[in-house]
Structure 1
Amino acid sequence: MSLMEAFVFFLFSSPSTLLGIVVLLLALCVVSRSFTSQTTRREPPGPRHLPLLGNLRALFKVVVLAGYKTVKEALVNKAEEFGDRYISPIFYDISQGHGILFANGDSWKEMRRFALTTLRDFGMGKRIAEDKILEECNYLIQMFEAHKGKPFDTTSPVNYATSNIISSIVYGSRFEYSDPRFRAMVKRANENIRITGSVYNMFPRLVSWIKNRQLILQNLEMNIREIKELIMHLKETLNTNVYRGFVDCFLMRKQKEEDSGVLNTHYNEKNMICSVANLFGAGTDTTAATLRWGLLLMAKYPHIQDQVQEELRRVVGSSQVRVEDRKNLPYTNAVIHEIQRLANIVPMAIPHKTARDVTLHGYFIKEGTTVFPLLTSVLYDESEWESPHTFNPSHFLDKEGKFIRRDAFMPFSPSTLVSDLQCFFF
């Protein structure tokens, strides 16, 4: 008889022994709860610990933020305390702490500041970038018209168009839709976004061999190779008097740091490659998905589409629509915002991590705790929206039909690069 079998036989051979063990466990539970309540601060509610066994929360402890008031209090009012990123295992494998999305510390802060400043200086929100978008729109319209009114899948054309806008801003030029290298880059980027949320992030050591992880890393390797080749070409043709895009600006800043003898500069090749890849990831898939939702909702609600077209005809006429026209297009502006709200294409913001001990709504959250902000709960918050589950452009209109901004409009999380890029596009 094995040791385990002997223990089980002893346990159940005597009812009094079994009863004694049960009483002991109950006593431990009571003592444990009493001790915990006296020695720990009030933590956010969650599953109760079982005596001796605990629960899965001890394996991976997170705090989930739900509702507009809670998310705003954490990410806006206490942005410093909740400002760090939680870098899941697969994203760390991808970025290695570099770039502008999945990184922390001084490097992340410097790369994010440089990206936003450079994109704005280069034209984000200005006429030059607007012209690039309008140029790409013409190519996209031509591709749509080539189908001559027959049904077709809009996924690839819209993805190509949004990727090309990013390419124009990052590299200074666009690709032809038929370019096999460009198609492969877009496919790999979309594929990685689709499969990054996997069980690997919870149990990386147990499932590091899974097929999806290997595919992501293979795609990453090919993307790095393509980005390096594109950067090398730009470096060889660099003109210090003409800045073609983000990469030129980064190369010039990198050269300046090297000439000044700056050691351990953040402007290195790894940060440049990751930043370029992040810009594509932040701008391409999210924008393309939102545009496809817009096409779907306009087809589903033709009366709203008719009102948008009527306003455009009345205000713009046969002229080219410009960003400056938006202030005179309140209904169209409201429809665009409502599409982003209802589409809810990013249900959860990039996971955060507390930079220090913090108290939120009376609950103590320890430094280093992973935080998941649920943007769905903000966009569909019944205390903020009159009809949260309905496509209703009136959410962004006052009684006089003028456009109004709503604080609870957080389709891509407040104060993030993704959010800034989306504001730029829309």
Structure 2
Amino acid sequence: MLLLNLLNVQTVLVALTVGLLVYVIRRRFIYRLPPGPWAIPLIGNFEVYTKPLVHRLILQLSEKYGPVIRFSFGPITTVFLNNYEVVMEALVKRKADFAGRPASVTFSLISEGYKNIALASYSPMWQYHRRVAMKALRNYLQGDLLEKLTQDNMTKVMNMMAAEAEKGPIELKSHLDNIVFYQLFTLCFGENKEIGDPDVEFLLREKDNVNEAIGNGLREDLLPFLKDVYPSKRYIIIKEAADRVFSFLNRLLQKHQETFDPNNIRDLCDHLLLARSEAEKSGDDESLEKLNDTYLVQTLSDIFFAGVDTTRLTLEWFLCFISGLPEIQAKCQAEIDKTIGRRCPSIADRQALSYTEACLYETMRAGVIAGLGVPHLTICDTQVGGYDIPKDTVVLINHFALHRDTKYWKDPEKFDPLRFLDENGKMDPTKLDSWLPFSAGRRVCLGESIAKPEILMMCVHLLQRFEISLPEGVKPNFAGVHRDVFGTESPADLRIVVKERLR
């Protein structure tokens, strides 16, 4: 019996090996695949994906293999796009070809089975939800609601920063979390919470738990069956946190439904309920089915959580550069003083704050906020850069490589806001090639229209009120520290000194 079992195991292993070889050889003959280093079957290029800062390593390897590189993350074939030309060909020229999203255990957990916008694959359902969310965001941007919200929230947090600064240099993370998290909470749910509110702190704590657990990815993402037979501790942490968060958000949605008034739209949650109300009145059963509670909660979760870390990291990198480059800070403050003085900034001031906005754009280029971004998936056989990309191939955009490309950026490691200005000192839209912090094409960031004016106003508020510097004896350090699998880096050990500016 033992011999028979061993023979059965050997038979299965031989069959698997032969099948894998046939599959690999067949792909070689049918497709002209992108080049890349040799990978161990099933294990892949472990010397790449087991290291931090993959985006930097891929950029180095692109000098050998070119802008389109093929790697294997375990058994998963992945293609990296490393320059502006191939990225635009894939995302803009080929449009929907690269608009899918890969399935993963982690993605499924944090989206209740891909029912949000960021992680759902390209489909009519996804297109519908994106249209509804975009309409809600556009309505939100009308009027002065964003300005009032930013002003109120920034005043609260800056008062806390000023009080803490009396004791010495301040740690930024908690203050930046407060700036971003409380603002997004009010944007989505209308409640203007005080700093320290237990509901907001609960969501902030759960967000940090999930981020820490995701880290460089779960083993279940490479071998999904493990979640059913031997789930990892990190998988359990993410699942339990997701369950708690979605239960909480469902309660908030229920409260909004009970007080919903189509003539008094208070927040983004109300805008989504309005879309459902309009579908009910029109008898549009198909649209109504697409706007059930789960999808509404996932859309709110998307807008709320997707913007938190990227916005906070942008502010953190902005303060890193500004505190280490006092001459650039002084130019921003001179522009702010001349344009605004001491009144509260508004979105209308944006046109007259070109230098400050150029500093924000340069922050998004030079700071590694999302080195790789969210992975794409090809939904059909397609091509890019002269190579064949088979259907269901995972594709990653190396934003870090785009933002360090010497073809577009002279001395790319230098922080230079003048890159984005014309000869009259105004923002020059023709200088934005290879600048893609929000991606492009069908999967361009949903919140881009809000993020750019919102973050600019946050930066203006900070520079208008404070002189920002490094502690005595500390030298500027613009090196990034690895954070997660998405190629995110944060400034190393950033503590700053803030002083009230003389009025």
Q: Using structure 1 for the length normalisation, give the TM-score.
A: 0.86
| Aligned match of 1:271 | 295
Verify the 8 A CA contact 1:357 1:364 in the aligned structure 2. Answer: yes
Instruction: Quickly say closer, same or farther: Cα 1:40–1:140, change in 2 above 3 A.
Output: same
The one-letter amino acid of 1:195's match is A
Instruction: Quickly say closer, same or farther: Cα 1:33–1:368, change in 2 above 3 A.
Output: closer
**Secondary structure at the residue paired with 2:169?**
coil
| Aligned match of 1:129 | 146
Matches within 5 A, 1:24-173: 39-48=29-38, 56=44, 57=72, 59-95=75-111, 96-104=113-121, 105-123=123-141, 126-149=143-166, 150-173=168-191
**Secondary structure at the residue paired with 1:61?**
strand
| Aligned match of 2:258 | 236
| Aligned match of 1:23 | none
Deviations 1:254-286 (A, max 9, x none): 244345261571101111111111111211111
Verify the 8 A CA contact 2:322 2:329 in the aligned structure 1. Answer: yes
Deviations 1:194-250 (A, max 9, x none): 432413322232365111111111111111121122112212111121111121122
Instruction: Quickly say closer, same or farther: Cα 1:252–1:397, change in 2 above 3 A.
Output: closer
Which of the pair has more CA radius of gyration?
1
Matches within 5 A, 1:185-196: 185-196=203-214
The Cα shift of 1:349 comes to 1.8
Deviations 1:110-133 (A, max 9, x none): 111111111111226x52222211
The one-letter amino acid of 2:409's match is W
Deviations 1:81-114 (A, max 9, x none): 1111223221112220201111122222111111
Instruction: Quickly say closer, same or farther: Cα 1:143–1:49, change in 2 above 3 A.
Output: closer
> Of residues 421, 430, 436 in structure 2, which corresponds to 1:410?
436
Distance of 1:388 and 1:408 partners within structure 2: 12
Select between 215-224 and 190-199 the one with higher mean Cα deviation: 190-199
The Cα shift of 1:159 comes to 1.0
Instruction: Quickly say closer, same or farther: Cα 1:261–1:359, change in 2 above 3 A.
Output: closer
Distance of 1:277 and 1:43 partners within structure 2: 37
The one-letter amino acid of 1:115's match is A
Verify the 8 A CA contact 2:116 2:295 in the aligned structure 1. Answer: yes
| Aligned match of 1:380 | 404
| Aligned match of 1:282 | 306
Deviations 1:377-420 (A, max 9, x none): 11111111112111111221234433223122111312221444
Instruction: Quickly say closer, same or farther: Cα 1:142–1:419, change in 2 above 3 A.
Output: same
Distance of 2:372 and 2:110 partners within structure 1: 20
Instruction: Quickly say closer, same or farther: Cα 1:397–1:67, change in 2 above 3 A.
Output: same
The Cα shift of 1:59 comes to 1.6
Distance of 1:54 and 1:272 partners within structure 2: 39
> Of residues 192, 195, 199 in structure 2, which corresponds to 1:174?
192
Verify the 8 A CA contact 2:354 2:426 in the aligned structure 1. Answer: yes
| Aligned match of 2:373 | 349
| Aligned match of 2:248 | 226
Distance of 2:212 and 2:407 partners within structure 1: 32
Verify the 8 A CA contact 2:332 2:355 in the aligned structure 1. Answer: yes
The Cα shift of 1:33 comes to 10
Verify the 8 A CA contact 2:75 2:222 in the aligned structure 1. Answer: no
Distance of 2:23 and 2:295 partners within structure 1: 48
**Secondary structure at the residue paired with 2:388?**
strand
Verify the 8 A CA contact 1:378 1:409 in the aligned structure 2. Answer: yes
The one-letter amino acid of 1:175's match is K
The Cα shift of 1:295 comes to 1.5
Distance of 1:308 and 1:33 partners within structure 2: 56
Q: Which runs of 5+ in 1 are unaligned?
A: 4-28
The Cα shift of 1:183 comes to 0.8
Distance of 1:49 and 1:310 partners within structure 2: 55
Q: Using structure 2 for the length normalisation, give the TM-score.
A: 0.73
Distance of 2:255 and 2:110 partners within structure 1: 24
Instruction: Quickly say closer, same or farther: Cα 1:202–1:146, change in 2 above 3 A.
Output: same
Verify the 8 A CA contact 2:132 2:275 in the aligned structure 1. Answer: no
The one-letter amino acid of 1:247's match is C
Structure 1 or 2: larger strand share?
Answer: 2
**Secondary structure at the residue paired with 2:289?**
coil
Distance of 2:433 and 2:360 partners within structure 1: 16
Task: Tell me how many residue pairs correspond in the alignment.
Answer: 397
**Secondary structure at the residue paired with 1:146?**
helix
| Aligned match of 2:67 | none
**Secondary structure at the residue paired with 2:330?**
helix
Distance of 1:380 and 1:129 partners within structure 2: 33
| Aligned match of 2:223 | 203
* RMSD, matched Cα: 2.7
Identity %: 25
Distance of 2:260 and 2:452 partners within structure 1: 30
The Cα shift of 1:180 comes to 1.8
| Aligned match of 2:363 | 339
